[in-house]
Amino acid sequence: MTEVSHQQWGEVSSLGSVDLWVLKSNLLRVEVLTLGAIIRSVCSRGKDGQMKDIVLGYDDLEGYVSDKRYLGAVVGRVANRIAGGCFVVDRKEYQLDINNGPNALHGGLRGFNKAIWLATAVEGGVQLSLTSPDGDQGYPGEVQVSVTYALQGETLTADYQARSTKTTPINLTNHSYFNLAGQGAADIYDHQVSISAQSYLPVDDTSIPTGEIRAVAGTPFDLIEPVLIGPRLKEVPGSGFDHNFCLSFPGDTYAERYAARVHHPASGRVLEVSTSQPGVQFYTANFLDGSMTGKGGARYGKHSSFCLETQNWPDSVNQ
């Protein structure tokens, strides 16, 4: 049985009140905010029997309102990057706000992560819904979107749905940052990762895929067998992993697939990810720099956490 409860958590001027929903099974405790459909915390027991929060976040609402790193949020309309913030749909060109070098990232300057979602209780969880008006952040069509978080035992499911009045790109993901040693731990170098992908997408110097689908074999991106993150980060070009791993390909049957596993031997905690999406962006918090104060006064630095963002391939609207 999963206990579901909620309470008011704060107020955002000009937007309204924000609620905190708690999903609790005998193995996990998950907190969800109606702001940004944010996963605020996931508390899990280690082999020492201690419950620890393994998701980065903030102690108060102001932290999330001013956050620029999408901690725990659902990002959209389009997660990841769109080259030049530009795309063509039905022979019409759309120009989005540029918010990441020369590109558009994670839905725009005021994406889904900054909206207050409407919450309703469902069995074992909460459904959060949002209406994005036609022209929102430059995108065509009114979009009705929802995400349902449901907890059963030690499995947390995120189920996304979207419907639009016009043809429009949609690519939703959750942007939780995990550290299985507990949020606030210094780094993830002692975590082991495996990703069930034979190919990945190389990127240019602005993190847009080059168009090549490259085999992982013989590269630092071969994570099919578990590898220790710390040593492998020294082999990856740039400041760390921020790449799409290809789980399925155009034309493949739409089905849920096992995607990734992260193990923290010291605590015994394991995170396993399955998804019906064709890609997973493995990101090692390369742009956290210690300037953010998180829960319990923790300073979140580079490589202090990882994200496994299940999604469509980046810039797919143009490629």
Around Cβ 34, how many Cβ atoms within 10 Å?
23
Catalytic choice (31, 106, 175, 264): 175
Task: Record the tokens describing residue 48, joined without a space.
Answer: 């020492």
SS3 84: helix
What's the rounded Cα separation, in Å, for the pair 27 and 155?
Answer: 9
- 204 annotated to a ligand binding site: no
200 annotated ligand binder: no
Does the annotation list 159 as a binding residue? Answer: no
Q: Which of 50-54, 111-115, 163-167, 250-254 is predicted with the least confidence, judged by mean pLDDT?
A: 250-254
* Whether 309 is catalytic: yes
Please tell me what DSSP assigns to residue 24. E
Positive/negative CA dihedral, 77, 85, 39, 271: positive
Is 239 labelled as part of a ligand binding site? no
Confirm if 157 and 25 have CB atoms less than 8 A apart: no
Q: Is the pLDDT of residue 84 over 90?
A: yes
Residue 6: active-site member: no
Rounded Cα gap, residues 54 and 269, in angstroms: 10
**Is there a binding annotation on residue 81?**
yes
Q: Which single residue is written with the structure tokens 């999963």? A: 2
Who contacts 210 (Cβ-Cβ below 8 Å, separation ≥6)?
201, 202, 203, 204
The pLDDT tens digits of the residues spanning 193-210 come to 999 999 999 999 999 999
pLDDT band for position 107 (cuts 50, 70, 90): very high
Contact between residue 173 and residue 289 where contact means Cβ atoms under 8 Å apart: no
Residue-level pLDDT at 254: 86
Tell me how far apart the alpha carbons of residues 96 and 56 are, in angstroms, rounded to a whole number: 29
Distances (CA, A) of 68 to 65, 227, 274, 280: 9, 30, 27, 21
Which of the residues 31, 191, 264, 309 is marked catalytic?
309
Please say whether the beta carbons of 143 and 50 come within 8 A: no
d(CA 248, CA 210) in angstroms, rounded, equals: 18
Question: How sure is the predictor about 250, in pLDDT bands with cuts at 50, 70 and 90?
Answer: confident
Span 103-108, average pLDDT: 96
CB 6 within 8 A of CB 119: yes
Cis peptide before 69 (omega within 30 of 0): no
Q: Residue 148: what pLDDT?
A: 98
pLDDT of residue 114: 96
Buried b (16+ CB within 10 A) or exposed e, 89-115: eeeeebebebbbeebbbbbbeebbbbb
pLDDT at 309: 98
Gap between the Cα atoms of 46 and 44, Å rounded: 7
128-178 pLDDT tens trace: 999 999 999 999 999 999 999 999 999 999 999 999 999 999 999 999 999
Which residues, listed in sequence order, are joined to residue 119 by a DSSP beta bridge? 128
pTM above 0.85, yes or no: yes
| 101 φ, ψ (degrees, to nearest 5) | 60, -130
Consult the annotation and say whether 263 binds a ligand. no
Q: How confident is the model at residue 14, as a pLDDT?
A: 84
